[in-house]
Amino acid sequence: MRAEFYLKNMDRESYWKYCVVNEGKNLFKKSQQEVSAVTTSTSASNSTTEECKWKYLYEIEEKDYDSELIRELLKKMYQFWRVEHVFNMLALYQKDSKISTEGSGSGTNGDIKITWEENNQTLTTTSAQQENSFLKKIKDNCDLKTEQTKDSLDVLFLSPDLKKKSCLPSPVLTNITLKLGSQNNVVAAAASQPSPKSTNNFLNKEKISGGTFSGTLGYSLFDYWTNLKRTKENNGSRLPIILFESKNEYSLKEDSQGSSDPESSSTQKPFSLKKFFDSVDQRTLELKNFVKEQKSLSLKLKEISPNQEDLIY
């Protein structure tokens, strides 16, 4: 399944759009029938325009699809987007977070990893010696004068607009994996793959509420006129994407069950999406709410062609 939310009106259901790809059509049928797929994702990488027709939420074909099921799923996608965005910004805002580079090439091609450690309320920081080459390209395009990777990310995502040269980051794509409660070992990479047949393997609100969400948010850059910024190379045909990959997993139960206490357990449980979303609305969500086992966030930096992925903005 694919969904689209306009940033300016994300909280208004009348602006929500969806389309159901061929692989997932049976999941959303009104009749409870056996189907082979157990997970669904907002990723469009395996879909084509011909098999997925965009519609607004109020245009759901009642005779074919379970409208309440689709509405419930879109609502939880919206909540996931809000919570993950706040988590990403909290991780960047952590003043003494540590920046390192994974992979070979001393930062040339590796991913950027943000980590934070707490020891008796005292935080320390170090910086990678060599800068990621892709981030350097973004700095050149945005006229950023910073030297360290952490400072560059801070200015790009957290600083007042006047410090940037018409480079405003905003999410443009997301990939969310729904893992059903009875299939906890299904990994995200298998989201579009069929599973062995099982009895009564259909999708309904009860199964969704017993499942979990995980996924990624990808950010690109806009100018003051809301046009996507393209890199100067390749005749401006490529878009910069900064993909935030957390390891967060969220329970979809409506009763707010889940972990939000850093000392609650040595084994991390899925966070309560409802509880964290309510905290976002109340402006009370903090980095420490993501329990002590979650201490890192990976950033994958890449370029894409606009037609490679459907951008949502």
Report pLDDT digits (tens) over 75-129.
999 999 999 999 999 988 876 666 665 543 333 344 677 777 543 223 233 334 4
pLDDT at res. 113: 79
pLDDT at res. 43: 36
Angle at 174 between CA 16 and CA 226, to 5 degrees: 70
Tell me what percent of the residues of the chain surpass a pLDDT of 90.
19
C-beta neighbour count of 189 within 10 angstroms: 8
Angle at 196 between CA 254 and CA 38, to 5 degrees: 25
pLDDT at res. 263: 46
Residue 161 belongs to a domain: yes
Residue 17 belongs to a domain: no
The predicted-structure confidence for 121-132, as pLDDT tens digits, reads as follows 232 333 344 456
Residue 3 belongs to a domain: no
The predicted-structure confidence for 116-160, as pLDDT tens digits, reads as follows 754 322 323 333 444 567 788 888 888 888 878 888 888 899 988
Mean pLDDT over 276-296 rounds to 86
| The token pair that represents 178 in the structure block | 């729904």
d(CA 313, CA 300): 20
Look at residue 41 and tell me whether its pLDDT is greater than 60: no
Mean pLDDT of the residues in the chain: 72
Mean pLDDT over 224-238 rounds to 75
Domain count, the chain: 1
Domain of residue 260 covers 66-304
The predicted-structure confidence for 26-40, as pLDDT tens digits, reads as follows 777 765 443 333 333
Predicted structure pTM score: 0.77
- Which positions ≥6 away from 21 have C-beta within 8 Å? 1, 2, 46, 47, 51, 52
Look at residue 229 and tell me whether its pLDDT is greater than 60: yes
Look at residue 309 and tell me whether its pLDDT is greater than 60: no
The predicted-structure confidence for 241-280, as pLDDT tens digits, reads as follows 888 999 899 999 987 555 554 444 445 689 999 999 999 9
**Residue 74 — pLDDT band, cuts 50, 70, 90?**
very high
Residue 61 belongs to a domain: no
Residue 299 belongs to a domain: yes
